[in-house]
Amino acid sequence: MAAATLIMHHPVSAIAWSGTRCDVTSTRTLGESLAEITAMNAPLAERLAAYSQALKQAQSPFVEEYDRLVERIRHGLVGAAAPAVGDAMPPFLLLDPTGRMVALDDLLAAGPLVVSFNRGHWCPFCTIELTALAAARREFAELGARVVSVMPERQAFTAPLQAGLGGGVLVLTDMDNEYALSLGLVIWVGEAIRELMIGWGPRLDEFQGNDSWFLPLPATFVVGRDGRVLARHVEADFRMRMEVVDILRALRSE
């Protein structure tokens, strides 16, 4: 199940997995490696680590800049004020890919939620995470839960992403990062990454409809029927995400 994703096609040695062992097999592009990694039957952390390794093997110029960005996020305490376990999840009213306004309260009326903040359809780490969440839709449905992805992209990009995820994730548009900003989850990419993105893609100005070059810090909140946070994952290193098994465990604890 592949989501629509923009990838820089550097040649890279492919990642082959057997259990938890990683082997270099042949020359691939990053896009081909992403497809293989996304389809891996492995914990989410291992798949994300595999893509990080693929970026390093490709000698992507983003690797060092991403490391610097993570340190800047840590020092800036981004996410420190985000809702904690036991807090009420602040309400939102966001657009779905059809242009319909969707409210947090309306979604909670149908059951608990998994709210995932994602950088965009172009982000390989988000693709890996969202594909894993969509693949677990049966387990979520058994618990009456729904998965929502919040990202600062126009519907022209969220619609194909949602379709590519096979209906397992509802993708909502957070224009100008307003909701993420209210939770203290927004970062400026920095001039170095902005220039890399302009040169290599992705063009955030086109995807977001503005020239701010801000992104949400990827984060996951498991929200119970009463609107309170059951569990969360807020991590400065945006290459790490909440494991599906941990999300399911939190939902079962409600």
Closest CA to 115 of 35, 14, 27, 228: 228
Q: Are β-strands 170-173 and 186-188 bridged in parallel, bridged antiparallel, or unpaired?
A: unpaired
Q: 197 near 228, Cβ under 8 Å? A: no
pLDDT (0 to 100) of residue 28: 65
So where are the chain's domains?
Answer: 79-252
| pLDDT interval class at 234 (50, 70, 90) | very high
d(C-alpha 75, C-alpha 211), whole Å:
25
- pLDDT the model gives residue 48: 95
Measured CA angle at 242 (ends 163, 221), to 5 deg: 80
Q: What is the mean pLDDT of residues 10-26?
A: 34
Over 50: is that where the pLDDT of 13 sits?
no
Query: For the chain, where are the E strands, in sequence order?
Result: 11-18, 21-29, 93-95, 101-103, 113-117, 146-151, 170-173, 186-188, 214-216, 219-223, 229-234
11-15, 111-115, 247-251: lowest mean pLDDT where? 11-15
How high is the pLDDT of residue 189?
Answer: 94
**End-to-end Cα separation, the chain, in angstroms:** 30
* 130: its two tokens: 């969202």
d(CA 245, CA 233): 13
pLDDT band at 24 (very low <50, low <70, confident <90, very high): very low
103-244-160 Cα angle (round to 5): 55
Over residues 59-101, the pLDDT tens digits come to 889 999 999 999 999 998 899 999 999 999 999 999 999 999 9
Report the C-alpha gap between 46 and 39 in whole angstroms.
Answer: 12
pLDDT in tens, 105-154: 999 999 999 999 999 999 999 999 999 999 999 999 999 999 999 999 99
Highest mean pLDDT among 39-48, 57-66, 68-77, 225-234: 225-234
What average pLDDT does range 189-202 have in this prediction?
A: 90
CB atoms closer than 10 angstroms to residue 160: 16
Task: Average the pLDDT over each of 22-31, 90-99, 137-146, 211-220 and give the range with the smallest value.
Answer: 22-31
For the segment 16-36, the average pLDDT, to the nearest whole number, is 57
Query: Average pLDDT in the 172-182 region?
Result: 97
The mean predicted confidence, pLDDT, of the chain is: 89
Q: What is the pLDDT of residue 5?
A: 43
CATH classification code of 79-252: 3.40.30.10
Cα–Cα dist 58/100, whole Å: 41
Measured at the CA of 62, the angle between CA 73 and CA 29, to 5 degrees, comes to 140
What is the percent of the chain where pLDDT is above 70?
A: 89
pTM for this entry: 0.88
The amino acid at residue 247 is I
d(CA 166, CA 172): 15
Contacts of 5 (CB under 8 A, 6+ apart): 31, 34, 121, 122, 123, 124, 127
